[in-house]
Structure 1
Amino acid sequence: MSGIVEAVVPRRMGTSFRWLVTSSWTSNVGDGIALAAGPLLVQSQTDSAFLVALAALVQRVPWLLLGLWAGAIADRVDRRRLVVVANLLRAGVVAALCAFLVTDRVSITVVLVALFCLGVAEVFADTTTSTLLPMLVDRRDLGTGNARLQAGFLVGNQLVGPPVGAFLFAAGTVWPFVAQAISILLAVLLVARIATTPVPARDERSHVRRDIAQGVRWILADPPVRTLALVILAFNITWAAPWAVLVTYALDHLHMGEVGFGLLTTASAVGGILAIGLYGRLERRVRLATLMRVCLSLEVLMHLALALTTTGWVAIVVMGVFGLYSFVWGTVSSTVRQRAVPTGLQGRVSAAYMVCVYGGIAVGQLLGGVLAQAWGLTAPFWFAFAGAGITLALVWRQLSHVAHAGAVETRAEPALD
């Protein structure tokens, strides 16, 4: 058993890293439970397709409204404490929702308000959590650390949590949310064991808006980090366009049925599980620039394959490959960014990237619906193929510079103006 623990969370990476990984895995199981139970709860409260769609939107809106503010605050305070406070607020919101469920006073309005409040707390919790790893492990171990955190998200949030959430919801509406609240509280206890993270150095007279502007200027002035942000924005737009109609594509174009649609998402998770075992060897033997190019190329080819196929089993294989390379891309891109960004700017840059992610998804989903309505269910996939392909061609040569960003052991902290 000790050998397995050492392989998963090496002793050289420190005790605090082990607490961070365990906390992240625990939290991801709870979030995975809510991933299935949340939509089921919304569906049980309304027959309106608009309100169902609104429920998905209200958890993303806080990222667009508060993401940059959350990043600036994460760069001003003890990050571990901010994670603890934000997660305690999340637990409080879930507990309040449980109280409404137990007393049978729940309504779609209550659910929407709860989802929005959870989204606000998650902005601060997720933004700040992403800054902890570079403060806890050596730079050479960032790839391993990100792989372990990504593995927890994949297994807990995508594979284990959702079926447990659906089962608990069938047993009683309140039970999945009780389980989520317990997992959040356990995650808080675990992350609280991390050694206190120092407050990043900053000008005490600086205003939050000034801090945000400073972070944006730094991204715009740093070519590798700026390029990576643009890639993430563009590829999330092209990714979200076909994903917005994936369920309809699976049912009406591939004629896979509900079980077949479930197999698409399961195949993606299985591909990610395979990537967990492969990532360490890939990072040691393949240049990061090559890994980035291969992952983005596979993304382009995935859209093409799904646009062309009319066979369900082909789509399942494609989704398995998607799960594999998306795990590798997520780990590599996070590692590159964390190596490149100074400690005092990690919160703001991480928040800016998340705004790119969710902003891109929002734009892509809107485009996907319009394209599918106008030109058919495969139109979003053709758009994604063309858009991702053009983006990749434009940044192909620059990916070498992106991959080596932060290769120098120390980079200057930004001057306060």
Structure 2
Amino acid sequence: MPDGLKRLLRNLSIDLSPLRDSRDYRLLFSSGVVTMFGTMITMVAVPYQMKELTDSYLAVGLVSLAEFVPMVVCGLWGGAIADALDRRRIIVLSELGLLVTTAALMVNALLPNPQVWVLYVIGGISTGISCLQRPSLEAVFQQVVKHEQQGAAAVLSSMRWNFGAIVAPALGGLLVTAYGPAAAYGIDTLSFVLSLVLLWRIRSLPPAEDAAPASLKSLVEGVRYAMGRSDLMGTYLVDIAAMVFAMATSLFPFLADELRAPQALGLLYSASAVGALIASLTGAWTARVKRQGLGVIVAATLWGAGVALCALTPNVWVLVVCIAFAGAADMVSGIFRTTMWNQTIPQELRGRLAGIELLSYASGPMLGNARASLMANIGGTRFSLGSGGLLCVAAVLGLAAALPKFRRYDARTDEHALAEKARRDAAVA
């Protein structure tokens, strides 16, 4: 085999060193695989059951609205407690809480007359618990994975997520239509039981001796730290801009009808995850990139360009390719952002910053779909896609110009990256 081809294959191969070197990362990764399948099955089952019970578009849409406030409040508070308490304990207790909420959905589904209000209340509680847990999960990777392996770990985590995003919703759709919502909730409940067995084996991850107690003051301290670093703010602002201006999954049903391919609707929804999975499977090269800020800018620009191209597509298959391309670009952006976060944020602040990150990547898609629907109502789906994609490109380039530290970030010379690496090297020694 030619040497050039060998180097290319080596650059595209998956780096499994975090799984090989860290027992705790293996346990977290395995737990994530199990619970992700169960959770995504429930994500399909809840709106399906709501539709079956109410036959109302508004009732289904209100499920997401009921989850928004718990997401904001618990995401920020979850970041504060992640820095103040044992992260393993937070993760395990939250997993137990999620098991209870899913079991409650199963019991409700088994009733002769399932209650609609239960879906709203339990949905909000479940989202709140998940958002309390998420900052600790994000922060703990910094503790259990070597500094130089953070890029590889980001690729592995994204690969796990995208594989689940493709397979689990399809499995959930089959389960709820063939056996009903109760069966789907039952499998999710079982997934949390298996996950708890894995998470229980993780070593204790106590906070620093001088860790600030969880309080409004500690939350403000985390926000001030983020705002004081324009490179970090760049990762948040670029992602929000990309999602607000170019996220448009709410238009997929209309696009499928316009292209006379309603049977391809599911393919449109999965195309982005397919592209992202391909980017993950071939993403070993991203771990060798040192200028992640510029990488985020380029990837987010390509995401917007991919969405803009969707407005010009003549048939559904070209549309699928464009969506997959955009999804791949968005995943590369996510890998670079995660690497920057885990290589530069001090351990004592990692949880609070993870709470801010959660808000940045969770609120954007919600606002983006609302923007897409509003613009489509004004000028049609093609207008919404094209203008949204171009606005995304313009916003990303504008932020790149306004944030030179973000644009010029280099992990080899950045003071925060070097300080964090030195701290971890000292801890190992």
What TM-score, normalized to structure 1?
0.90
SS at match of 1:75: helix
Aligned to 1:408: 418
Alignment of 1:124-203 (within 5 A): 124-156=132-164, 158-169=165-176, 170-202=178-210
Aligned to 1:254: 259
Q: Which amino acid in structure 2 is aligned with residue 79 of structure 1?
A: R
Deviation string 1:77-128 (CA, Å, 9 cap, x unpaired) is: 0011101111111110111111122232412211111111111111112222
1:208 to 203, 215, 224: 215
Alignment of 1:17-416 (within 5 A): 17-156=25-164, 158-169=165-176, 170-202=178-210, 208-240=215-247, 242-251=248-257, 253-257=258-262, 259-284=263-288, 287-396=291-400, 398=404, 399-402=406-409, 404=411, 405=414, 406-410=416-420
2:211/2:348 contact within 8 Å kept: no
With over 3 angstroms needed to count, the CA separation of the structure-2 counterparts of 1:78 and 1:354, relative to structure 1, is same
2-side partners of 1:265 and 1:155: how far apart?
A: 14
1:60/1:358 contact within 8 Å kept: no
Identity across aligned pairs (percent)? Answer: 23
With over 3 angstroms needed to count, the CA separation of the structure-2 counterparts of 1:285 and 1:135, relative to structure 1, is closer
With over 3 angstroms needed to count, the CA separation of the structure-2 counterparts of 1:266 and 1:385, relative to structure 1, is closer
What displacement does 1:359 show? Answer: 2.7
Deviation string 1:349-376 (CA, Å, 9 cap, x unpaired) is: 1111211223323332322222111221
- Unpaired runs of 5+ residues, structure 2, are 1-13, 424-429
1:37/1:162 contact within 8 Å kept: no
Q: Which amino acid in structure 2 is aligned with residue 45 of structure 1?
A: L
With over 3 angstroms needed to count, the CA separation of the structure-2 counterparts of 1:183 and 1:316, relative to structure 1, is same
2-side partners of 1:110 and 1:201: how far apart?
A: 41
What TM-score, normalized to structure 2?
0.87
1:90/1:121 contact within 8 Å kept: yes
With over 3 angstroms needed to count, the CA separation of the structure-2 counterparts of 1:374 and 1:61, relative to structure 1, is same
With over 3 angstroms needed to count, the CA separation of the structure-2 counterparts of 1:390 and 1:7, relative to structure 1, is closer
What displacement does 1:285 show? Answer: 6.4
Deviation string 1:189-245 (CA, Å, 9 cap, x unpaired) is: 2122111112134466x56100110001111111111121111221121133x2232
2-side partners of 1:202 and 1:250: how far apart?
A: 56
Matched residue pairs, number? 403
1-side partners of 2:382 and 2:346: how far apart?
A: 43
With over 3 angstroms needed to count, the CA separation of the structure-2 counterparts of 1:64 and 1:215, relative to structure 1, is same
Aligned to 1:3: none
With over 3 angstroms needed to count, the CA separation of the structure-2 counterparts of 1:146 and 1:11, relative to structure 1, is closer
Deviation string 1:367-396 (CA, Å, 9 cap, x unpaired) is: 222211122122322332232122222233
Q: Which amino acid in structure 2 is aligned with residue 83 of structure 1?
A: I
2-side partners of 1:337 and 1:183: how far apart?
A: 29
SS at match of 1:380: helix
1-side partners of 2:298 and 2:410: how far apart?
A: 13
1-side partners of 2:359 and 2:396: how far apart?
A: 21
What displacement does 1:7 show? Answer: 6.0
What displacement does 1:140 show? Answer: 0.6
1-side partners of 2:353 and 2:388: how far apart?
A: 26
Q: Which amino acid in structure 1 is aligned with residue 352 of structure 2?
A: R
2-side partners of 1:293 and 1:207: how far apart?
A: 34
2:293/2:336 contact within 8 Å kept: no
Q: Which amino acid in structure 1 is aligned with residue 183 of structure 2?
A: W
